């Protein structure tokens, strides 16, 4: 793990000082009328934050069997956490402040004296945002994403939802397109990729990387276009191409006011201000994937609508949530998580879901 971090740091450190500003320039050139959403902004600044904080830098790697976390100064004080099938092992040195909580739905990791949480969810089964996949029995009962799905009829002021808004990955930073293009991104090249990052072939990190690559290579459904973006530039350009215009906007769920434990499910009500529709019936949704650097699984899935909703928690927490409603689900896997949770059949009614904090939806600007 230590070697893995050092290799990734070498890739990032050569351009960290200029990458954020260059990316900002690119964004404003391509999208002069679209504010950069929090989900993207966080990944641009995270490289500088992690490399600049020698004592509190953290890396989190997620696999189907658990999580490996390394936080702290190499060779000195710090914390190592390993979460797997066999349980939880924690080794704490020095003044680091790391807390790990393990539950049925996944693993929560909070680290560092600055109080900035790194939150990781380990989800059983396939991604709930890949509509080719059938949900496993474990996923139906244990996946925190279950609560994100709802029916369009509930999209109105006063509706109540039991939700937990968190980030689904550790927030690996964006590479520039020129950097990303020098690194193979193919399951056929996995041994070389692991060697490049000095990742043990049988480790949880390796398993996670393989899963991301394989899911990116799965064929698209009929009527779907899909693409795994390994840089912000490629995400922007795929979205523009899919929507058929350069006049696009990006949106993400944002926690406006935190209250209490953000890792606990809360009851939210749609505020009287109501629901605001984003433009058009064609969208591109980009879902963050666990990988050493930022990778987003982006897809356009036919007629869809996107909304921004003001949600108020029962403890005062306020969230500007982004929700997507898929109007035609006839070609989805009949055992997809949404159908099992909502008790509806493919193609019968529109299916909606909230976006986690680190996902992005692209729509035509109004």
Rounded Cα–Cα distance for residues 364 and 277 (Å): 11
Percent of the chain with pLDDT over 90: 36
DSSP string of 283-344? -EEEEEE-SSS-EEEEEE-SBEEEEEEEEEETTS-EEEEEEEEES--TTS-TT-HHHHHHT-
Rounded Cα–Cα distance for residues 43 and 22 (Å): 14
Give the model's confidence band at 22: pLDDT under 50 very low, under 70 low, under 90 confident, else very high: confident
| Average pLDDT, integer, range 308-321 | 91
Residue carrying structure tokens 């000195």: 76
Percent of the chain with pLDDT over 70: 64
pLDDT at residue 288 tops 90: yes
The pTM (predicted TM-score) of the whole model is 0.71
> Which residue has better confidence, 69 or 323?
323
* pLDDT of 240: 97
* pLDDT of 37: 94
> Which residue has better confidence, 313 or 6?
313
Asked if residues 193 and 183 have their Cβ atoms less than 8 Å apart, the reply is yes
* pLDDT of 88: 36
Give per-residue pLDDT as tens, 233-260: 999 999 999 999 999 999 999 988 776 6
Cα dihedral sign, 258-259-262-268: negative
Give per-residue pLDDT as tens, 148-168: 888 888 888 999 998 887 777
Asked if residues 9 and 67 have their Cβ atoms less than 8 Å apart, the reply is no
Cα dihedral sign, 136-335-350-290: positive
Report which listed range, 11-15, 80-84, 175-179, is most confident.
175-179
For the chain, what are the domain ranges? 2-364
pLDDT at residue 71 tops 50: no
Report which listed range, 45-59, 140-154, 334-348, is most confident.
334-348
Tokens linked to 30? 């391509």
Output the CA–CA distances (angstroms, integers) from residue 147 to 19, 228, 298, in the order listed.
37, 25, 22
Rounded Cα–Cα distance for residues 166 and 185 (Å): 27
The alpha-carbon radius of gyration of the chain (Å, integer) is 20
Mean pLDDT of the chain: 74
Give the model's confidence band at 132: pLDDT under 50 very low, under 70 low, under 90 confident, else very high: low
Helix (H) or strand (E) holding 9: helix 2-13
219-223's contacts with Cβ under 8 Å and 24+ in sequence apart are 220/299, 221/131, 221/132, 221/301, 221/331, 221/332, 222/331, 223/301, 223/302, 223/331
Report which listed range, 13-22, 79-88, 195-204, is most confident.
195-204
Asked if residues 59 and 112 have their Cβ atoms less than 8 Å apart, the reply is no
| Average pLDDT, integer, range 211-230 | 93
């Amino acid at each position: 793990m230590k070697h893995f971090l050092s290799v990734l740091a070498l890739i990032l450190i050569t351009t960290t000082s200029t990458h954020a500003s260059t990316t900002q320039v690119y964004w404003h050139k391509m999208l002069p009328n679209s504010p950069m959403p929090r989900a993207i902004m966080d990944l641009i600044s995270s490289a500088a934050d992690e490399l600049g904080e020698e004592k509190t830098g953290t890396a989190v790697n997620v696999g189907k069997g658990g999580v490996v976390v390394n936080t702290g100064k190499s060779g000195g004080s710090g914390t190592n956490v390993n979460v797997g099938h066999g349980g939880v092992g924690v080794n704490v040195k020095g003044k680091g402040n790391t807390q790990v909580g393990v539950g049925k739905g996944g693993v929560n990791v909070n680290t560092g004296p600055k109080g900035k949480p790194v939150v990781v969810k380990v989800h059983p089964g396939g991604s709930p945002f890949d509509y080719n996949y059938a949900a496993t029995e474990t996923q139906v009962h244990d996946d925190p994403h279950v609560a994100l799905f709802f029916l369009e009829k509930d999209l109105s002021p006063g509706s109540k939802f039991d939700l937990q808004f968190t980030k689904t990955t550790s927030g690996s930073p964006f590479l520039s397109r020129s950097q990303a293009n020098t690194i193979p991104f193919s399951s056929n090249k996995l041994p070389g990729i692991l060697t490049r990052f000095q990742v043990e072939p049988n480790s949880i990190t390796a398993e996670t990387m393989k899963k991301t690559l394989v899911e990116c290579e799965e064929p698209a459904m009929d009527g779907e276009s899909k693409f795994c973006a390994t840089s912000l530039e490629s995400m922007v350009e795929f979205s523009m191409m899919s929507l058929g215009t350069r006049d696009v906007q990006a949106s993400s769920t944002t926690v406006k006011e935190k209250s209490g434990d953000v890792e606990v499910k809360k009851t939210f009500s749609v505020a009287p201000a109501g629901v605001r529709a984003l433009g058009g019936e064609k969208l591109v949704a980009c879902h963050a994937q666990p990988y050493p650097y930022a990778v987003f699984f982006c897809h356009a899935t036919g007629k869809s609508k996107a909304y921004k909703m003001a949600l108020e928690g029962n403890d005062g927490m306020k969230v500007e949530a982004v929700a997507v409603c898929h109007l035609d689900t006839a070609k989805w896997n009949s055992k997809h998580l949404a159908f099992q949770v909502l008790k509806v059949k493919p193609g019968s009614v529109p299916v909606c879901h909230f976006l986690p904090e680190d996902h992005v939806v692209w729509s035509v600007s109004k």
